[in-house]
């Protein structure tokens, strides 16, 4: 199971696992949404979305802005800046 260590606690974020993954969220900008066709396959929507995963311990989030093959940027609800 793929996971990334949280920089804010001893927890981690899973990027694989059950489907659907309860710790995975999808992000889509309003601009990207506006250029999509009216009818879109759910797999294509998933592919075009940025992936966000929550730390299982502290709820910090790891956002994969550049795809899952690159490291995420971490954000914490308790810290004013990303790690």
Q: Going along 1-83, which residue ranges are E strands?
A: 3-5, 12-14, 24-27, 50-54, 61-64, 73-75
- Quote the pLDDT of residue 1: 58
**pTM, 2 dp:** 0.79
CA 33 to chain centre: 17
List, run by run, the mean pLDDT of 10-residue segments along the chain (83 residues): 86 83 87 80 85 92 93 84 49
Residue 83: per-residue pLDDT: 46
pLDDT at position 79 is 64
Q: What HEC string does 8-19 produce?
A: CCCCEEECCCCC
In the prediction, which pLDDT does 81 show?
55
């Amino acid at each position: 199971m793929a996971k990334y260590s949280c920089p804010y606690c001893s927890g981690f974020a899973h990027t694989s696992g059950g489907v659907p993954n309860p710790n995975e969220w999808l992000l889509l900008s309003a601009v990207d949404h506006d250029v999509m066709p009216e009818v879109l396959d759910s797999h294509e929507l998933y592919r075009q979305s940025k992936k966000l995963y929550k730390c299982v311990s502290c709820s910090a989030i790891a956002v994969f802005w550049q795809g899952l093959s690159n490291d995420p940027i971490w954000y914490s609800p308790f810290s004013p800046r990303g790690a």
